[in-house]
Structure 1
Amino acid sequence: MTQPPHDEPTASTPEELREQVEQTRAELGETVEALAAKTDVKARARQKGAEVKEQAADRAQEVKEQAADRAHVVREQATAKAEQVKAKAADIAHQAQDRLPDPVTDKAAQGARLAQDNRKVLWAIAGTTVVLWAILRRSKR
């Protein structure tokens, strides 16, 4: 057998020697278990697979959150642009209306009032047109 290292005290009684032997056996058992675990390729592959799967899930969650944040920013930008376009269109409409001769503006306002006053009649005409179109389309088949 090998001699104990110089920094470890030697057992002076048989009982101390037994305790040292038991401690050495326990340490040796742990070392053997650790070596066996390192050589168990299937278990290490399963463990590595689980780690990779967890990392992928974490990354997917991060990407999902980033996409949601970006979608929110894009939605806000689109809303702002839409408001700008709407304001610009209103400005153009007002400028065009200011350039129209008064008789045209008066006739347009009169037509709008007439359409509002006869809204039910206009809806009835539109409904009838749709029904007639559907009947004619079916008869062509």
Structure 2
Amino acid sequence: MYVTFEKTRLPSLCAVTGGPGRFWIVPHAHRAVAAARREVRCALEAGGVGEGAADDALLVVSELTTNSIAHALPPVTLRVAVLDQEFIRIEVGDSGAPPPGRRQAGQPADEHGRGNAIVSTVASRTGELTQAGRVTRWAEVPLD
């Protein structure tokens, strides 16, 4: 199978063609999260996804991508696909070990530890797949 790389609007992400949905290789830098959100927003708008579902999907993209960049080893990959016109599936993969269970936020002012809870609230289903040294965390967000 051949993989074709496309130039994207943002030099910080590399879009890869092939497979369902859109797939990007995300640089291991926190600034890349904003670029990932912009790319996903454009892809969802082009696919006719409603604003509410797109906003929920972007929140999930932010949380999962941030966690991979902050807590795992590169490369970080991002795939977004609309499944059966019912769900937006977001998959973020990395080369790190799965985090040890869900972390609870400490005090109300604590800025960390809420990402998994946010994803679980917004998504109808979530999961994690470990395979060949890679960890892929995924979530499915219902379409409007």
Q: TM-score, normalised by structure 1?
A: 0.16
Larger RCO, structure (CA 8 Å, separation 6 or more): 2
- Which protein is richer in strand relative to its size? 2
Q: TM-score, normalised by structure 2?
A: 0.16
In our comparison, the structure showing a higher alpha carbon Rg is 1
- Which protein is richer in helix relative to its size? 1
